[in-house]
Structure 1
Amino acid sequence: MKTIYLISLFLLVFMAGCKNDAPRYVIGVSQCSDDSWRHKMNGEIEREAMFYDGVAVEIRSAHDDNAKQREDIRYFIDKKVDLLIVTPNEAAPITPVVEEAFDEGIPVIVVDRKILSDKYTAFMGADNYEIGREVGKYLAAKLGGKGNVVELTGLSGSTPAMERHQGFMSAISAYPDIHLLAKADAAWERDPGRVIMDSLLRIYPRIDAVYSHNDRIAPGAFEAADQLGRADDIVFVGIDALPGKGNGVELVLDSVLDATFIYPTNGDKVVQLAMDILNMQPFPRETIMETAIVDPVNAPVMKLQTAHIADLDNKIETLNGRIGGYLSRYATQQVVLYGSLLVLLLVAGLLLVVYKSLRSKNRLNIELSKQKAQLEEQRDQLSEQRDQLIQLSHQLEEATHAKLVFFTNISHDFRTPLTLVADPVEQLLADKCLSGDQHRLLLLVQRNVNILLRLVNQILDFRKYENGKMEYSPVSVDLLQCFENWNEAFQAAILKKHIHFSFESEPHTDYHTSADIEKLERIYYNLLSNAFKFTPENGKVAVSLSPFEKEGQAFFRFTVANTGSLISAEHIRSIFDRFYKIDMHHSGSGIGLALVKAFVEIHGGTIRVESDERQGTVFTVELPANKGQSDIVPPSSEVSIPSNLPADLTEEEGEMEQGYDSNRMSVLIIDDNADIRSYIHGLLSAEYAVIEAADGAEGIRKAMKFVPDLIISDVMMPGIDGIECCRRLKSELQTCHIPVILLTACSLDEQRIQGYDGGADSYISKPFNSQLLMARIRNLIDSHQRLKQFFGDRQTLAKEDICELDKDFVEKFKMLVEERMGDSGLNVEDLGREMGLSRVQLYRKLKSLTNYAPNELLRMARLKRGASLLASSGMTVAEIAYEVGFTSPSYFTKCYKEQFGESPTDFLKRKGK
Structure 2
Amino acid sequence: MKTFYFPSSLRCILIAALTVLLVPSCTKDDNAATVKIGFSQGMNTDDWRRQLNKSMVIEASLHPEVQLEIKDANNNVQQQVKDIEKFIDRGVDVIIVSPIEAKPLTAVVEKSIKKGIPVIVVDRKIDSEGYTAYIGADNIEVGRIAAKYIVSNSTVNGKIIEITGLKTSSPAYERGLGFSQILKQHPQVKLIATINGNWESGSVKVQLKKLLQNDPDIEFIFAQNDRMALGAWETAKELGLENKIKFVGVDALSTQNGGIELVKKGVLQATILYPTGGNEALRLALKIYNKEPITKNNLLNTIVIDKINAEIIENQLDKVDQQQTVIKQQLDAISVQEQEYASQHSLVRLLTLFLAIILSLAIYSVYSTISISRKKRQLEQINSTVTSQKNEIEVMADAAQRSNEAKLGFFTGLSHEFKTPITLILSYAESLIENDKIKGTRLMDELKLIYSNSHRLLRLINQLLDFRKIEERKFSLRASKTNIYLFTDQVMANFKGEAARRNIDFRLIADNKDTEVFIDNSLMDKVYFNLLSNAFKFTPDNGRITITIKDGADGTLKIIVKDSGIGIPEKELNMVFNPFFRASNNNKNSSGIGLNLSKEFIALHNGTIEVRSRQGTEFTITLYKGTEHLQPAEINTSTATEYNTSLLQDDLEYESLPEINLLAPGQEKYTLLVIEDHPDLVNFLSNKLSTEYDVHVSDGSNATTLALELVPDIIICDINLAGTDGFEISKTLKKDLRTSHIPIIILSAQSNKESVIQGMQAGVDQYLTKPFSLSVLRQSLSSLLFNREKLRYYYTNNIYRVEPESKFGTLEQDFISRMNSHIMENMDNPKFSVEELADKLNVSRVQLYRKVKAILGMSISDHINNIRLEKAATMLRDGKMNISEIAYSLGFSSPNYFSTAFKNKFGISPKEYKTTG
Q: TM-score, normalised by structure 1?
A: 0.38
- Identify which of structures 1 and 2 has the higher relative contact order when contacts are C-alpha pairs closer than 8 Å and 6+ apart: 2
Q: TM-score, normalised by structure 2?
A: 0.38
Whose radius of gyration is greater, 1 or 2? 1
